[in-house]
Structure 1
Amino acid sequence: MEAAPAVASAGLTKYFGKTEALRGLTLDIHPGRLTGLVGPDGAGKTTLMRLMAGLMRPSGGSLRVLGLDVTRDAARLPELTGYMPQRFGLYEDLSVLENLRLYARLRGLETRSLQEHFDRLLGFTRLAPFTERLAGRLSGGMKQKLGLACALIASPRLLLLDEPGVGVDPVSRQDLWRMVHALTAEGVAVVWATAYLDEAERCDSVLLLNEGKIEFNGPPAALTARLAERSLRLVAPRQDRRAVLARALDLASVCDGTIQGDSVRVVLRRDAARAEIQTLADAVEAELVPVAPRFEDGFIDLLGGGPGGTSALAERFGPVALDAGFAVECRQLTRRFGAFLAADRVDFQVRQGEIFGLLGPNGAGKSTTFKMLCGLLKPSSGEALVAGLNLRTSTSAAKSRLGYMAQKFSLYGLLSVRQNLEFSAGVYGLAGAAKRERVAEMIEIFHLESYLKASPDQLPLGYKQRLALACAVMHAPPVLFLDEPTSGVDPITRREFWTHINGLVRKGVTVLVTTHFMDEAEYCDRVALMYQAQVIALDTPAALERQAARPGLEPPSMEQAFIHLIEAVDAAADTPRGAA
């Protein structure tokens, strides 16, 4: 006999004023199973999680969690549930152990009798060597592990994780998965909201929300099965992959496409014939072969397809020309913070019109390197050049030639969306009619009309990122630095960003990007992998994947190559995994 559901709802609704965030949800979530929660920005994922945690009351319908009514029994839910929100409230000036003790007290637990429990959680999360480290000094992956440990303080029967993998590198995500699978094996019901659809594909069941409604509820394989014979690859086209992808995405028969290795992967619309895509394959001298569909293919298809291949942003850019030999140069770039070495003799060159990826685990030195290249941090030694200008001696001139989108949203919360756009235009020297025209273009291109009077803090994440990108490209820079530009946004918004990036590069713009989405690394011409403050590998994505290849096995993904290269360094140095 199957156990009673951990969560059961019937006709569940939730209103915020006149906005209906959830529309009549009926669902069951079972113990001992991992349930993925996916959907575009504003779909209702976080609202549903907060209702299950007892932090909100439904507007209508019923919701029972572990047999308790969330309205009548909300006070009892914290004893039985663990909730890790998107922005987990760690106290950065407290140590790892002090955070655990604080959360135990907040749950009403007697901390003096919990040392054995703390030890188990620290071992489980591999944080035992770091108990005295301040939470603010942990890498992104370690912060997420500490957040998970705090959510597990009360040994919950239902664990709610709201995008725990955002901003976390593949090695740390492996640890999170290991911990979650151990919990479900003990009978815990785990709900994992995620923007990484390869994670959703590994769940026992998936709930796909869109505009507050359930679009799909079931095993991931049931959705991918709908894509049989519709997922195809154009293998090794003779033309530039980005140009081929743009042409494919503009075909009426194609609903989605991405770059994958030396190929272009496409998904046909339901009932579409292959004639158009076969004609394109013939034109670019590529072999057209069927491939196994992915959950991400089904997600994009179910929501009506991606944004197409033409970038309205790139259409407004004129051709970019640089006189310098390289668009960007790092020459033995080094940065120390006291005794801590954050970047150690980083050395590479980036050609004009290249997408250059900077990858690495949390804390590897990527963002530090980016900030030195943007003139936001002074190197301890070495040189950084942008468009041939040395950032040490020509800082202002170099900054005028670059655009920078920070990893953490860094616009001005006290200014409205329009005021942020106007301020950025003014900072970059635009004035008068040119300023008004450029601001109007950004509003149109990024669909910001409905949010002009709002503060950036009030925007959905996807629109925050659109606004940040708009401000970074306001002055049409020839070099663009994007530090995790799509972290946490839904796959359709990511497609939109990469359509813009690919379009800009075809105009001659040079793009440096960091990302934890390994499929995005496939868009890069070359990738530098950083680990422990150094560049440990630099090559094309396909070449790095070949380094991880094994005879008789399927070709490795970029994520597998990433993990392989990190583990190889650890093995050579005999460094315990997780100590970075």
Structure 2
Amino acid sequence: MMSSTRESGAAPYVTLSRVTKSFGASSPALDDVSGIIRGGEITGLIGPDGAGKTTLIRLMTGLLVPDEGSLSVLGFDSRSEAARIHDAIGYMPQRFGLYEDLSVQENLNLYADLRGLPLHERSGVFEELLRFTDLKNFTRRLAGKLSGGMKQKLGLACALLQKPRLLLLDEPGVGVDPISRRELWKMVENLTAEGVGVVWSTAYLDEAEACDRVLLLNQGKLLFSGPPSDLTERMGGRVFKVTGISGRRREFLAKVLDRPGVIDGVIQGDAVRLVMRSDAKGEPLLEGAGVEVAPTQPRFEDAFVDLLGGGPGGTSQLAEAVKALPAQDAAPVIEARGLTKRFGDFTAAQDITFSIPRGQIFGLLGPNGAGKSTTFKMLCGLLKPTAGQGRVAGFDLRRDTAEARNRLGYMAQKFSLYGDLTVGQNLEFFAGVYGLRGKGKSQRIALMNDIFDFGPHAKMSAKDLPLGLKQRLALACAVMHEPEVLFLDEPTSGVDPISRREFWTHINGLVEKGVTVLVTTHFMEEAEYCDRISLIYRGQSIALGSPDELKVRVASAENPDPTMEDAFIALVEQSQAEAVAA
């Protein structure tokens, strides 16, 4: 867990006074927002998709101006002194504009030109930034060949070419593994120690929990402003850990989430974590021999979900509309035997072996560039293995690629639908691709529109949808043909916790109907939903087991109850140490 312990009381760097901004929609993107952002602190900007976070950051940059109210940055008025704001801040947008066909050094040179950095200062500034971001050994590498974490570090370096007084970071941790996120966080903490003010927009609520202050937005309105602990403390006595569950955790969670006193719940290894409504009386009443309910420490995420009205419940309309697959038999649904992939003299994945029975969730975890996406793509037929064998639903991926693909649904790491097609046109297209015709096709499209509430957005281009709706559309297209296997490659990257819960309600429901899931993720809370996990590092599987088994492996006297993120980092560090010793 990241930590932040700086003292409050620094000077205001940003002052918002009743700021409103609209883009012609029926409701404003920001509605009467007031607040202060201080120097020497990390201020977390959080909220669900479409809350107004990016709009607020762009207002702080001077790229947008408020329709109503006033906004000053470092003493400069955003309407009349935008150019002076540009010179004093660093800004890293959500989709940072690195030139992927330029090297690390060439990107730095280009942004130094754009920022007007004097030639005589550049060598010293470059040296400092390359050391700060640990990119000194990669100056000749093309930006497009960097891992996700290294790209974010390069983006941060470009934003810091002229040491800013205020640094604006729009979701810098999206698509970045836990190790790289901790490194980014440490870099930013070092900046605040020098008096730099930082605004860090995030969908990762462990990041928000570590901020000095947070601004929590929803539908353009500011719901909370202050230290995150002030919000978390409100949840005292309302959070419980349920252990001793007999049977399947997913089925248990789905049932208990539909109880009126429960507003949220997640799977946590072999246990289930529940959050109760404020008016619920005492501990949740749960039946079942051996079931134990114990209070547990609240997290900021609990308070976040509570403030937004709770999670989506436990019933998935999508799962209810799916026919149950035949009972589990002995044959695995997904199987990897010695899968290896080489690109020239570089081995991206080596001797990867595991099998997944029907109706389970299997997670591929690993740092950026570790080889998990390569393994994933071999198993869904997008990459041909150099050696080894992969089978899906009984079909050999070398010989029967087309047949295997007809049995699976696929959600890509990046939004892969057709951005220029509308929501309705994407549904029509993918229904046709999966061989649906006539009445059956019409019924499936109507079902997806009903389940995911696409009606109000049916004529919008897919590229213009908010991130949460893009994710819904991608899932709808992936399950259009009722596949027995789902491949999910970082399916909720950048998506807020409420949307993630909705997504996993559907996935858990489908798995209960016998669907088998292979998922990659950087959200360690999502990894807890997996029945088993393979941790990939440097192209090899360094650990295989259930979430609880992996956590037990790294438990110590100093940390007897590690989180999944603790286990991820400790196991990678153990593997690094073993490689050095060898």
Shorter-chain TM-score: which interval?
Answer: over 0.9
1:320 equivalent to 2:325? Answer: yes
Q: C-alpha separation between the residues in 2 aligned to 1:97 and 1:536?
A: 33
1:16 equivalent to 2:23? Answer: yes
Match of 1:43 among 45, 51, 59: 51
State the secondary structure of the residue aligned to 2:494.
coil
Contact 1:231 1:293 in 2 (8 A): yes
Per-residue deviation at 1:554?
3.6
1:268 equivalent to 2:273? Answer: no
1:74-127 deviations in whole A, cap 9, x for unaligned? 011121111111110000011111111111110111244311111111111111
Contact 1:356 1:527 in 2 (8 A): yes
Match of 1:483 among 468, 489, 496: 489
Q: C-alpha separation between the residues in 2 aligned to 1:413 and 1:45?
A: 23
In terms of mean alpha carbon deviation, does 328-337 or 535-544 score higher? 328-337
State the secondary structure of the residue aligned to 1:468.
helix
Contact 1:235 1:288 in 2 (8 A): yes
Q: TM-score with structure 2 length normalisation?
A: 0.97
Question: CA 1:552 to 1:112, structure 2 compared with 1: closer, same or farther past 3 Å?
Answer: closer
State the secondary structure of the residue aligned to 1:6.
strand
Contact 2:333 2:393 in 1 (8 A): yes
Paired residue type of 1:254: V
2:308 aligned partner: 303
Question: CA 1:218 to 1:264, structure 2 compared with 1: closer, same or farther past 3 Å?
Answer: same
1:239 equivalent to 2:247? Answer: yes
Q: C-alpha separation between the residues in 2 aligned to 1:465 and 1:312?
A: 16
Per-residue deviation at 1:284?
5.3
Per-residue deviation at 1:343?
1.2
Contact 1:101 1:111 in 2 (8 A): no
State the secondary structure of the residue aligned to 1:437.
helix
Q: Percent identity?
A: 62
Q: C-alpha separation between the residues in 2 aligned to 1:236 and 1:221?
A: 31
Q: C-alpha separation between the residues in 1 aligned to 2:99 and 2:330?
A: 46
Q: Which runs of 5+ in 2 are unaligned?
A: 1-7
1:292 aligned partner: 297
Question: CA 1:111 to 1:94, structure 2 compared with 1: closer, same or farther past 3 Å?
Answer: farther
In terms of mean alpha carbon deviation, does 550-559 or 471-480 score higher? 550-559
Paired residue type of 1:270: S
1:226 equivalent to 2:234? Answer: yes
1:205 equivalent to 2:210? Answer: no
1:460-499 deviations in whole A, cap 9, x for unaligned? 0000011001111000000100000110001000000110
Q: C-alpha separation between the residues in 1 aligned to 2:10 and 2:157?
A: 26
Question: CA 1:149 to 1:241, structure 2 compared with 1: closer, same or farther past 3 Å?
Answer: same
Kindly report which structure 2 residues correspond to 1:467-546, keeping only aligned pairs within 5 A, or say none.
467-546=473-552
Paired residue type of 2:295: P
Paired residue type of 1:534: Q
Question: CA 1:284 to 1:199, structure 2 compared with 1: closer, same or farther past 3 Å?
Answer: farther
In terms of mean alpha carbon deviation, does 458-467 or 377-386 score higher? 377-386
Q: C-alpha separation between the residues in 2 aligned to 1:319 and 1:3?
A: 59
Match of 1:442 among 435, 438, 448: 448
1:371 equivalent to 2:348? Answer: no
Contact 1:95 1:131 in 2 (8 A): yes
1:190 aligned partner: 198
Q: C-alpha separation between the residues in 1 aligned to 2:13 and 2:36?
A: 7
1:358 equivalent to 2:358? Answer: no
State the secondary structure of the residue aligned to 2:12.
coil
Q: C-alpha separation between the residues in 2 aligned to 1:103 and 1:356?
A: 42
Match of 1:29 among 32, 37, 43: 37
State the secondary structure of the residue aligned to 2:305.
helix
Paired residue type of 1:489: V
Match of 1:110 among 118, 141, 145: 118
Q: TM-score with structure 1 length normalisation?
A: 0.97
In terms of mean alpha carbon deviation, does 342-351 or 111-120 score higher? 111-120
Q: C-alpha separation between the residues in 1 aligned to 2:119 and 2:96?
A: 21
**How many equivalent residue pairs?**
573
Match of 1:123 among 102, 123, 131: 131
Paired residue type of 1:289: A
State the secondary structure of the residue aligned to 1:469.
helix
Q: C-alpha separation between the residues in 1 aligned to 2:81 and 2:121?
A: 28
Paired residue type of 1:25: V
Contact 2:10 2:40 in 1 (8 A): no
Q: Which runs of 5+ in 1 are unaligned?
A: none
2:398 aligned partner: 392
